[in-house]
Amino acid sequence: MTTIGASGRTHVLDSAIYHDFWDNSLPPRLTIASGETVTFHCRDSANGRYAPGRADAAPATRAAGHPLTGPVAIAGAEPGDTLAVEVLALETGSWGYTSFRAGAGLLGDDPRFAGPYVHRWDLTSDPIPFVRGVRIPKEPFLGVMGVAPAEPGRHTTMPPRRNAGNVDIKQLGVGARVYLPVLVPGALFSCGDGHAAQGDGEVCVTAIECEMTATLRFTLLKGRAVPELQYRTAGPITARTNVGPYYCTTGHGPDLMEAARQAVRYMIAHLVEERGFTPEEAYILCSVAVDLKISEIVDAPNWVVSACLPLSIFPEDAR
């Protein structure tokens, strides 16, 4: 559907047709001009598996890929150009989920998190209620935004790539502007994997996953090339949780991944021992609210990763 408004042409793509892989031979569902706007209706990352009334347990194996809405071609886009994508509006669905299973996520080898495990969220209120009085402010974003890759054939959507894709950057909320390298004629942009909230790191392998309606404006920057995704935020990072003190745990060592694992293990221990969460609840909370930060990466042989828990999400009488 296409409408004409004061700001120009706005197109709408529903989620009835989707693709769960990258492939530059996919024909565009829509071709637009630079400066035009598209509203994308996007399925959740599990393609409805955890919708109300469906199964409770997370699957033992990973899904084939994220169901993406698109592709959209931008007229005149050629390799060597940059596609600027402005996030104008994001609206979550009414429900969401967070899940983990053995072998996935930062602590996928920890027997406590063998799962499969799923937590369902009610997204009809904001902040979003969890357990023990915790409330997570909505800070929605699309986990996957990307253009078609230069390489031919089908490619899984799971890892991030030069074409962007599954970057899970929570700072790409309303007002952000994303710059993507054009790798094939038309760019062939697709998106999906809506998140209602996430901690930097998404450590259990899912955020608060949800359906999303996203309105994006596309501007073609001819002759300007970016090597891979770059972005500008709308304002302060994590503005809704960065309003008070944090409790932080750290991990150190010569391996950044292991330092990150250690910092998260210590945060889970803190949440279990000091605040009464179960290990599963603590792991979920780390994935949707705790931010991992590289605190030091220059003092060889050891680097430091901090896991930062915003205390603003707890009730006022929490420790």
Alpha carbon of 263 to those of 101, 178, 308: distances in Å?
20, 30, 9
Rg (CA), the chain: 20
CB 31 within 8 A of CB 4: no
Which of these ranges, 10-14, 57-61, 89-93, 164-168, has the smallest mean pLDDT?
A: 57-61
Residue 170 has pLDDT above 80, yes or no: yes
Q: What is the three-state SS of the chain?
A: CEEEECCEEEEEECCCCCECCECCCCCCCEEECCCCEEEEEECCCCCCCCCCCCCCCCCCCCCCCCCEEEEEEECCCCECEEEEEEEEEEEEEEEEEEEECCCCCCCCCCHHHCCCEEEEEECCCCCEECCCCCEECCCCEEEEEECCCCCCCCECCCCCECCEEECCCCCCCCCCEEEEECCCCCCCEEEEEEECCCCCCCCCCCCCEEEEEEEEEEEEECCCCCCCCEEECCCCCCCCCCCCCEEEEEEEECCHHHHHHHHHHHHHHHHHHHHCCCHHHHHHHHHHHCEEEEEECCCCCCEEEEEEEEHHHCCCCCC
Residue 242 has pLDDT above 90, yes or no: no
Mean pLDDT value of segment 86-95: 98
User: What is the pLDDT at residue 59?
Assistant: 61
Mean pLDDT value of segment 207-227: 97
Residue 274 has pLDDT above 60, yes or no: yes
User: What is the pLDDT at residue 6?
Assistant: 38
User: What is the pLDDT at residue 319?
Assistant: 43
For the stretch 157-168, pLDDT in tens is 999 999 999 999
pLDDT above 70 covers what percent of the chain? 94
User: What is the pLDDT at residue 47?
Assistant: 95
Residue 62 has pLDDT above 80, yes or no: no
Which of these ranges, 59-73, 84-98, 121-135, 237-251, has the smallest mean pLDDT?
A: 59-73
User: What is the pLDDT at residue 237?
Assistant: 85
In order of start, what are the domains of the chain with their CATH numbers? 2-232 (2.60.120.580), 246-313 (3.10.28.20)
User: What is the pLDDT at residue 57?
Assistant: 58
Mean pLDDT value of segment 39-64: 82
User: What is the pLDDT at residue 3?
Assistant: 41
Amino acid at 178: V
Provide the pLDDT confidence category of residue 58 given band limits of 50, 70 and 90.
low
Half-sphere exposure of 93 (CA within 13 A, CB side): 26
Residue 202 has pLDDT above 50, yes or no: yes
Burial letters for 13-33: b for 16+ Cβ neighbours within 10 Å, e otherwise?
A: bebeebbbebebebebbbebe
Q: Rounded mean pLDDT of the chain?
A: 94
Half-sphere exposure of 211 (CA within 13 A, CB side): 17
